[in-house]
Amino acid sequence: MKAMEKIPPIKAKNQLVLPDDIAQNCSYCLEVIPGLTALIVDVSFQRNTEPGKVINAEDFYIAYYDLSNEINIHQNAGTKVNYSSKLGMVVLDAALKSSYVPSLKTYSFWLLIAKPLLQNYLPGAENGSIEKRKLNNTIVFSSHIDSRTRLCILKLRTRNYNDPSFELSLRGTSLQVFAYLVERLNESGTIPGKLSELDTAQIIKTQTYLMEQLSGTFPGIDFLAAMAGMSVSKYKKLFKSVFKESPNSFFLREKLHIAQELLMSGNFNTINEIAYELGYVKSGYFASIYKKQFGQLPGEVFMKNMA
């Protein structure tokens, strides 16, 4: 009997499928409303991919949400564990040159937003002050994904792309995520402003360095400004314009974000072990700054290793 030929699965019209030797699963792209397009990148790559340009369109912003793990653990034989973190959410001007280097297994949600659409909902839109501004090479916002947005995207993730109602679910999710984004930008007082490509690259360079040094102590403003090739005053001003807080506050918040993950991981016997992992000699000091950040003591969320 002649072997039956493998029939390729039926895919929805908006699915983007890569060859099997490159990646499994698919991505999905949809224009939600005029000026708002959603993209889902849901793939398992079979090999490492070269960084590639996502988009370069001066009339749009990109809102990117990465649903992969936000905490990375690095350990070499005989050395102390090093913890690093990454921000899962970034909103940037599509005119800014950027590349996207996905991990081998990735799930991310993207919104491509026309500038007039987003500007219409930001502070100052009622008197037209934003529309008159030049909005090139701008990072608007960068942070962790808020819980409401994460739950909204995770719910969509459970849906089958071939389900007849998937497109409706994606439209609804996209509009909800866009609404949460507008609300968050307004709460933070964020108004897009001009930032050069070089300055942007240097600020991101120091931010990446900070998030790779969270097991140690804050390296100092002078060191970071020198790394960015800027004066201290310029560096502090630009860093705060991007991340809405000082470098020191950003570093401490990210360190405590990892502490929260470790406290609930169930991998430690005592809170003192976690404090030591993150470079705190005095557990009492660790407890006090943790409570200041989260409103509760480490012991209230600590899950002890039961192995």
Beta bridge partners of 42: 26, 107
- State the alpha helices, DSSP H only, in the chain: 115-119, 147-157, 166-188, 197-211, 221-228, 232-243, 247-263, 271-277, 283-294
Q: How far apart are CA 164 and CA 142, in angstroms?
A: 34
Range from 184-193, 236-245, 273-282 that averages highest in pLDDT: 273-282
Q: Which of 219-233, 249-263, 280-294 has the highest mean pLDDT?
A: 219-233
The pLDDT tens digits for 207-251 are 888 988 888 889 999 999 999 999 999 999 988 887 778 999 999
**Which amino acid appears at position 233 of this protein?**
S
User: Rounded distance, CA 39 to CA 101, Å?
Assistant: 16
3-state class (DSSP) for residue 125: helix
Number of Cβ within 10 Å of residue 179's Cβ equals 14
pLDDT tens profile 108-134: 899 999 988 988 887 665 544 444 344
Please list the alpha-helical segments (H only) found in 229-246: 232-243
74: CB partners within 8 A, 6+ apart? 81, 82, 83, 84
Contact 304, 268 (CB under 8 A): yes
What rounded mean pLDDT belongs to the chain?
77
Reduced to 3 states (helix: H, G, I; strand: E, B; else coil), residue 48 is coil
DSSP-derived secondary structure letter, 158: T
Q: How far is CA 97 from the centre of its chain?
A: 17
Dist. CA 266–CA 293, nearest whole Å? 21
Amino acid letter, 161: Y
Considering only CA atoms, which of 36, 42, 33, 46 is closest in space to residue 15? 42
Q: What pTM, to 2 d.p., does this model score?
A: 0.66
Q: For residues 153 and 173, is the Cβ–Cβ distance under 8 A?
A: yes
Q: Per-residue pLDDT tens for 59-110?
A: 888 898 988 765 655 544 444 556 666 678 888 877 765 555 555 567 889 9
